[in-house]
Chain A
Amino acid sequence: MFDLTGKCALVTGASGGIGGEIARALHAQGATVGLSGTREAPLAALAEELGERAHVLPCNLSDPDAVDALPKGAADAMGSLDILVNNAGITRDTLFMRLKDEDWQAVLDVNLTAAMRLCRGAMRPMMKARWGRIVNITSVVGTTGNPGQANYCAAKAGLVGMSKSLAQEVAARGITVNCVAPGFIETAMTEKLTEEQKAGIMGAVPMGRMGTPTEIASAVLYLSSAEAGYVTGATLHVNGGMAMV
């Protein structure tokens, strides 16, 4: 099950906790992986850990030209582009009344617009191959909303709508487009929360614990596999039961 031998996967945000684990999971099933992110050192360290079939592809997702060039660069480096995982994301949390245009724009640019550009760039090789898997990492808060995260929630909800539209356009070409929506996961992003905030979150999670990056990566692996061929336009919620949607 879930054999990805011969498949080439581009993962953005691979320098982060969840992205790195996604790359490890796909690689462990035989995929060649393209590790993208802004910080080159952690990408290089991950590539060294993985050994063969790992390529470092640094990219600043705030730079439209660099983003447009990434799918082609990835396909050239790896030989093809069969799987795209849009995982990279940033936050600029602030109360809505204090929300600045630049905080809004920066989050939309990286979390939504860059994902759109990468999907667009990946279409040509996937259409020609009559096979493709796109997995966009959204968030539980894209569905539920979250105080202080209007920009982030808008971008994540936007990803879901975009994915569903694209899924309908390319379904007949063997390309699936799905989302994975993590709840609270143990990463650098959630480490910034105070103990009090964490306790509040735990109270809202029936599972009574945070999720692990591996649990997100496993969902991505499933949606990237041949076995998930009849699943498209879906959002797989991985959140310990905190939102049953």
Chain B
Amino acid sequence: MSDIADRVKKIVVEHLGVEEDKVNENASFIDDLGADSLDTVELVMAFEEEFGIEIPDDAAETIQTFGDAVKFISEAA
């Protein structure tokens, strides 16, 4: 697994308090990992800080799963 994916997974595990093995490619933050809408905003904030990037609101809305996050950040970072 790439370095970016590891770092994203660490943030998700810490923030949502979920088991690491639940955080797979297609895991939806809201449907599978128990996030509420405010959690997803906080995750995006955490990604922005970890990777020093800016994620615009319209892009943030497309980040629904762990895989979406890794893909977006890999392209942006």
Chain B residue with Cβ nearest A169: B38
- A210 beta carbon closer than 8 Å to chain B: no
Q: In the complex the two chains form, is A173's CB within 8 Å of B45's CB? A: no
Main secondary structure, interface of A, reads helix
Query: B50 at the A/B interface (Cβ < 8 Å)?
Result: no
Q: Is the CB of B45 within 8 A of A124?
A: yes
- Please tell me if B20 contacts chain A, counting CB pairs below 8 Å: no
CB A231 to nearest CB in B, in angstroms, measures: 20
Chain B interface main SS type: helix
How many angstroms between the C-alpha atoms of A27 and B38 in the bound complex? 32
Number of interface residues of A (CB under 8 A): 7
User: Is A170 an interface residue when CB atoms closer than 8 A count as contact?
Assistant: yes
Q: Which residues of B contact A172 (CB under 8 A)?
A: 38
Q: Of residues 18 to 77 in B, which have CB atoms within 8 Å of A's CB atoms? A: 38, 42, 45
Does A127 belong to the interface (CB within 8 Å)? yes
CB closest residue in chain A, given B38: A169
Cβ–Cβ < 8 Å partners of B38 in chain A: 169-170, 172-173
A173 to B45, CA, bound (A): 15
Q: How far is the CA of A169 from the CA of B41 in the complex (A)?
A: 12
Tell me how far the C-beta of B34 lies from the nearest C-beta in chain A, rounded to whole angstroms.
13
Contacts of A170 in B (CB 8 A): 38
